Structure 1
Amino acid sequence: MWNSKSREMWDDGSRCTIIPFLTKHITKGKVADLGCGDGYGSYLLYKAGFDVTGLDLSEDMVARANERVNGERISFVQGDLTDLPFKDESFDAAMAINSLEWTEVPYKGLEEMKRILKPGGRLCVGLLGPTAMPRINSYRRVYGEEVICNTMMPWELQKMAEETGWTCVDGQGVYKRGVKDHHVAELDEELKQALTFMWIFIFEKQ
């Protein structure tokens, strides 16, 4: 299912503003795409001039990503976001779109991202917002059932990042089609985040 719709999401859908936003704050270097799925976002990073390594927990997604590569300098590996198979300080930047909230303990994933980045390295994180339908995957927690999505709010991720050695450089929202610019223009950041389908952060490692 994911593979069938990922290109549309990156080209025209909820992810179409991510690469332009990232390139405003990260201009060159070696980038890790953490939770790369079928690799289309990694491919767009490569087209934007980056040296890209993609990682995903799913062997199937990594296989699909490798099938996409046709001589480009992109590599894909299977691995766990909370136990990355990379050396310390081996990347200039990283991108993690809708992946951190699928970890059991997001703090562990954020710490691993910090470990693999060079000092001053930047991280672009896309986090599902309060209006995102995938949060249905976390609903059954109210019955005490084990769930597969960590329902983390954007403000919670920012607070955790700032408490653990990151600086928040910038952020922007992705909204559902019914939300127009004039609906959110006068709101403060907390209220803007409350309406989002996804909030995108740029953090910098201190």
Structure 2
Amino acid sequence: MGSEFNWHEEAEKQWDDRSEMWSSKSRVMWEEGSRSTIVPFLKQHIGKGAIADLGCGDGFGSYLLFQEGFEVTGVDLSKDMIERANSRIQNEGLSFVQGDLTDLPFQSEQFDGAMAINSLEWIETPYKGLEEIKRILKPGGRLCIGLLGPTAMPRINSYRRLYGEEVICNTMMPWELRKMAEETGWKCIDGQGVYKRGVEETHLHTLDEEMKQALTFMWLFIFEKNG
């Protein structure tokens, strides 16, 4: 990276600028769109307790977790996102704080579980974010993480790197994230795909996991912290 480019500051600025756009569509995404299967999938693997929503945006996903009986703390790098979340949603057992995924404002082993949907990609060194999530989870704690798949148009956020431009998005293949996680003290418990219209279950049932991942808009993982 160039000496004048600060990934953290640029990421915060860009997400502040996008907060109104994101907030306008987040509810539809969580209730009907690409994120509608996440909370049901998470509930299969993470029991009730304290959960951190990392990269919570305007907090609607956090609110859905709260409705399911979790005690939720949402975290986002964008101050504007957190202000929107706090102004729209105020419940005991649901709170929001501004924070950096590589330096979370929490004690070690504070949470029973965590959710990070399309947030690890926005870190300059994703490994550092994964390590910080591990730090805040109790032994055996589980993480539901969503990663943009190969067919996701939002991956355009990292495209300009091909021209040598500075970007704030690290696109990864699902197999890359799983390999990094398993190399650094996580156990993969389960995975599930989110697909664009046109991909039917009949297209998928004969495919192995790597081929299924190749068709995804987003791949969901459940990782468990070893120890």
Shorter-chain TM-score range: over 0.9
Identity %: 77
Unaligned runs of 5+ in 2: 1-20
**Secondary structure, aligned partner of 1:24:** helix
Answering whether residue 84 of structure 2 is matched by residue 64 of structure 1, we say yes
Q: What are the Cα deviations for residues 179-202 of structure 1, in whole angstroms up to 9, with x where unaligned? A: 111111111000100110000000
User: Which residue pairs with 2:210 in the alignment?
Assistant: 190
User: Which residue pairs with 2:120 in the alignment?
Assistant: 100
Using the TM superposition, give the Cα deviation of residue 68 of structure 1 relative to its aligned residue in structure 2, in angstroms. 1.9
Q: What TM-score does the superposition give when structure 2 sets the normalisation length?
A: 0.89
Map 1:1-206 onto structure 2 (within 5 A): 1-206=21-226
Unaligned runs of 5+ in 1: none
With 137-146 and 80-89 compared, the bigger mean Cα shift is at 137-146
Using the TM superposition, give the Cα deviation of residue 143 of structure 1 relative to its aligned residue in structure 2, in angstroms. 1.5
Superposed CA RMSD: 0.7
State the distance in 1 between where 2:66 and 2:159 align: 36
What code does the residue aligned with 2:66 have?
Y
Structure 1 runs (4+) greater than 6 angstroms displaced: none
State how many pairs are aligned: 206
Q: What TM-score does the superposition give when structure 1 sets the normalisation length?
A: 0.98
**Secondary structure, aligned partner of 1:121:** strand
Q: What are the Cα deviations for residues 19-60 of structure 1, in whole angstroms up to 9, with x where unaligned? A: 000000011110000000000000000000000000000001
**Secondary structure, aligned partner of 2:154:** helix
State the distance in 1 between where 2:157 and 2:59 align: 23
**Secondary structure, aligned partner of 1:151:** coil
